[in-house]
Amino acid sequence: MIRPFDKPIYVARPALPSLEEFRCGLEGIWDRAWLTNNGPLVEQFRDNLITFCGTKNLSLFVNGTLALQIALQGMGITGDVITTPYTFVATTHSLFWNKIRPVFVDIEPDYYSLDPAQVEAAITPWTSAILAVHVYGQPCYLENLERIARKHGLKLLYDAAHAFGVEVNGTSIAHFGDLSMFSFHATKIFHSIEGGMLTFRDPEYRRLFDYLKNFGFENETEVVMPGTNAKMNEFQALMGLLLLRRMDEMIERRRAINERYRERLALIPGIRLVSPPAETVRYNYAYMPVEVEQDEFGLTRDQLYLKLREFNVFARRYFYPLVPDYACYRGLVASGNLPVARRAASRVLTLPIYSDLALDDVDRICDIIGDIASRSCKWALAASQSGQADSVLALTDTQL
Ligand SMILES: *Cc1c(COP(=O)(O)O)cnc(C)c1O
């Protein structure tokens, strides 16, 4: 009998620099008494990110959602945008805040990103852009989407919130499409407490985004456009600067965790591992998704999710429900058949992964899943005999 973890294991845990390093940086902020409005740490963070991403066309924001909203507005995108239902709600919200109509098309089953064939089939005279998501940090089908966008004269934007640190053929993922948005939220692979970044092809966007995130100010007396407030502050930049140095180490730790999960979970019937990254991809191991095959595993994804909580393991159902199924979008948007996305939303469970997660804890999580699997037939049987299939989770071990 495997015991639950003493403390909860969450799906993510923010990386932190040493408190000493952070305190040292705070002293500088105190000395300067310059807290926001493009201070020296934000400038330095931007410079270091330019080196990291290999592009000067880069702008920092207070968070990823406002960065994406501003991108859509600055680029003048209107009408319909083809996008994915299998994402975090902020992708779609950013369209709505710009009065753009999202057109949801289905995803492909390998990496859960937009299916290029479905994208092309959904293009109409009202389509102005494609907004794709590098789900779990795995790159979309970049070449196909690029070809479709060029052929039809559409803008191509990537929600790269999961994909910081990813490279394709040695090039940063920040270089694809017309624009990419990265999130530096505390739960992401890399963070600045909250934070966001845009990288873009057209260098002209830089000035535009600078206006839009700072009320449209040109100088003390001139306002050139109705902007908003979405500036990154010095505390965020300090956190980002200290963590950026550790990026390689953090990805390596995650790679080892991912490898251990893969070795161990491959032995459990009914747990399907997601396709490994393509040869050309330097992956960031941002998430650890698996699919639960109910017939083989003996429990549904939701049952496993709830069972794990009893062991103090807090996996997450990213992404469930699909965005068009949220109350605020239901009925408002045409979403058609989305069989691949629906299948993924009902089967995928993302397991805990963060750079400080011990390999022993990964082993224990896998032992727990194995243990649940080996006893799931008994639970399912007991539930069906009592005529209460849904109450299977209410049964305690002593009842069995
Ligand atoms: C986290 C996330 C966002 C939002 O980023 P914030 O920095 O939290 O505003 C947008 N899209 C996806 C896919 C995300 O995971």
Q: What is the pLDDT of residues 29-52, one digit of tens each?
A: 999 999 999 999 999 999 999 999
pLDDT at 384: 60
User: Which atom of ligand 1 is nearest the CA belonging to 68?
Assistant: 10
What sections of the chain are H helices per DSSP?
19-32, 40-53, 64-74, 89-97, 116-121, 142-152, 205-213, 234-244, 247-265, 294-297, 301-310, 339-347, 359-385
Query: Over the stretch 242-284, which tens digit does the pLDDT of each residue have?
Result: 999 999 999 999 999 999 999 999 999 999 999 999 999 999 9
209, pLDDT greater than 90: yes
* pTM listed for this prediction: 0.94
The two domains 19-244 and 247-394 share their CATH topology (first three levels equal) = no
Nearest atom within ligand 1 for CA of residue 64: 7
CATH architecture of 247-394: Alpha-Beta Complex (3.90)
Residue-wise pLDDT tens digits, 40-88: 999 999 999 999 999 999 999 999 999 999 999 999 999 999 999 999 9
Give me ligand 1 centre to Cα 65, in Å. 6
CA–centroid distance, residue 195 to ligand 1 (Å): 10
**Per-residue pLDDT tens over the stretch 110-152:** 999 999 999 999 999 999 999 999 999 999 999 999 999 999 9
Q: Which residue has the tokens 């591992």?
A: 273
Angle, CA of 127, 79 and 89, to the nearest 5°: 95
What is the pLDDT at residue 395?
Answer: 41
User: b/e per residue, 128-142, with b = 16+ CB within 10 A?
Assistant: bbbbbbbbbbbbbbb
Packed helices 247-265 and 359-385: angle between N→C axes, nearest 10 degrees: 40
Chain position carrying tokens 């109910």? 294
Q: In a mutational test of the pocket of ligand 1, which residue from 111, 135, 138, 183 has the highest number of ligand atoms less than 8 Å from its CB? A: 183
* pLDDT of amino acid 400: 31
Q: Tens digits of per-residue pLDDT, 384-397?
A: 666 554 444 444 33
* DSSP codes joined into one string, 104-127: E-PBPTTT--B-HHHHHHT--TTE
* CA 182 from centroid of its chain's CA atoms: 9
Alpha carbon of 93 to ligand 1 centroid (Å): 11
CA-162 nearest atom, ligand 1: 15
Atom of ligand 1 nearest to the CA of 66: 9
Angle between helices 40-53 and 234-244 (to 10 degrees): 40
Query: Residue ranges per domain, the chain?
Result: 19-244, 247-394
- Pocket probe mutation, ligand 1, options 111, 140, 159, max atoms within 8 Å of Cβ: 159
Ligand 1 pocket test target in 70, 91, 93, 191 with most atoms within 8 Å of CB: 91
172-182: per-residue pLDDT in tens?
999 999 999 99
Query: Domain 19-244, what fold?
Result: Aspartate Aminotransferase; domain 2 (3.40.640)
